[in-house]
Amino acid sequence: ITALQVKLTEGEQARSYAKGTDNLEAYMKLLQGLEHVYRQNKEDNALAKQLLQEAIALDPEYPKPYEFLATTHTLDMWLGTSKSPRESLAKAIELTRKAIALDDSYATAHALLGYLCIYTKQYGKAIAECERGVALDPNSADALGWLGHSLYWADRPEEAIPVLEKAIRLNPFPPGWYLYSLAMAFRDTGRYEEAISACKKVFHREPKNVIARLVLTATYSLSGREEEARAEAAEVLRIDPNYSLERLAKTRPHKNQANTKSFI
């Protein structure tokens, strides 16, 4: 068992991850898959998908693996590994709804479903569904994370910041996506140094997190630090030589598409 898996089995977060199964092997497969989900690069996402499918095979009534398997399909869009972003989104929505069908009180699945509505330009519905998730469990760091992430893409970065900061306080080992979501919100409100600091924290545990490195690249560029921006861009291509900013731009769900330029 890895150090991250030990951390994931501690406290309130662990109880939420274990909810819905008595199958220890399925739970351990979930934790193994989750470790790869959090790394957010092409190779780890493929491994995560395999492990989460194995968790579902071990216990098809266990809601949590469906949620994280949905996340891997969303990451396919972000990482440029999806042959069809439309199909990846449809699969993510299908899996999230399956998790909710197994447990309608499942806070993070409702919040994830809200975030996925961002991709169909249903911004009001997205925020409402995320808020439903938070209402079901106000102490769910992941539900708050999805709400903050969705507020950002709905072009409400000022509102996203305190929500994401609360998610980070509730999870003593926050996954990188909390931090780079916060970094994007800081960046879009002109708080560049705080954005850079948040991004750099991701790399302590997730050095190959391509998305966080892209956020950092854009932040350096917007703050006039072009040499550092070029170095980060080179690191992205070292991790994934086939990465394409043009492909990324097509899947950014900003309410105002002009804001996509600040991401890339």
Provide the residue ranges of all domains of the chain, joining segments of one domain with +.
3-263
Rounded CA separation 44/162 (Å): 30
Residue 257 pLDDT: 57
Residue 16 pLDDT: 78
Rounded CA separation 82/89 (Å): 10
Residue 251 pLDDT: 62
**Any residues with CB less than 8 A from the CB of 62 and at least 6 apart, and which?**
20, 21, 23, 26, 27, 30, 55, 56, 102
Mean pLDDT split into 10-residue runs, the chain, 264 residues: 47 76 96 94 96 98 98 92 93 98 96 96 97 97 97 97 97 92 97 98 93 94 96 93 72 61 53
Residue 5 pLDDT: 46
- Can you state the angle between helices 63-79 and 42-58, rounded to 10 degrees? 160
Architecture of the domain spanning 3-263 = Alpha Horseshoe (1.25)
Residue 15 pLDDT: 73
